[in-house]
Amino acid sequence: MVSIHSAASGMGGMRTAGDLVGRMQMSRGMKIKEAKEYVANKLNVSVPDLADPVVMSEVREDLDIGMLSTPFYPGSAKGIEAKFHIAELLGIEINCVNRFKDRIGRKLR
């Protein structure tokens, strides 16, 4: 079912900027229009570009915020590392990033 909704009306997650817009809804309670405008501003793209996988794959590569086809880009950020970059880029707190920093910080002290 998710594949049908994704094709019919979804932003596309990591194919585009869907996860980033989702994070603005989750972290700041933004409605869809506000969340899209916020993310577009942070990525320096237009709002329509947010759902364009051709544009967003380049943007995600340039900003190193996690991409779909990782074997094409060895060394690119994945998982928690990508989320570190996303938190900084969007100016939001990401729970697992903060807890990771806290745990690593304790080990390094």
Partner 1 sequence: MEKFYTRMGDGSVVELSESQLKRDLEEGTRDAAERAKIHPLSEDELSYLFDVYSSPAKFVGVDCGNEVILTCENSPVKIRRRGLLVHRVESLQIFEKLLGADTLELGHTDYSFKLLKIPIAYEQTDMEQALSMTTIPLFYGAMPNLGLYTQPDGPCLNPMELLPQGKISEARAAQEEMIEYAVKDMVYVGSKLYESGADGIDFDTTAAAGDADFLATLHAIEILKKKYPQMCIEIGMSGEFILGMHGELTYDGVRLAGLYPHKQLELAEKAGATIFGPDINTDTDKSGAWNVARAITFTKACVENSHIPIHANVGMGVGGVPVTPQPPVDAVSRASKAMVEITRLDGL
Q: How far is the CB of 44 from partner 1 (least distance, A)?
A: 18
Q: How far is the CB of 45 from partner 1 (least distance, A)?
A: 13
Closest CA to 38 of 24, 26, 59: 24
Closest CA to 59 of 39, 33, 31: 39
Q: How far is the CB of 20 from partner 1 (least distance, A)?
A: 9
Interaction residues for partner 1, span 3-42 (CB under 8 A):
3-15, 18-19, 21-23, 25-27, 29-32, 35
Which of 40, 56, 66, 90 touches partner 1 by CB under 8 A? Answer: 66
Closest CA to 78 of 60, 94, 91: 60
Inter-residue contact 87 to 93 (CB < 8 Å): yes
59 scored as a contact of partner 1 (CB under 8 A)? no
Distance CA 107, CA 9 (A): 44
Distance CA 105, CA 29 (A): 30
Footprint of partner 1 (CB under 8 A): 1-15, 18-19, 21-23, 25-27, 29-32, 35, 47-48, 51, 65-66, 68, 78-80, 82-83, 86, 93-96, 99-100
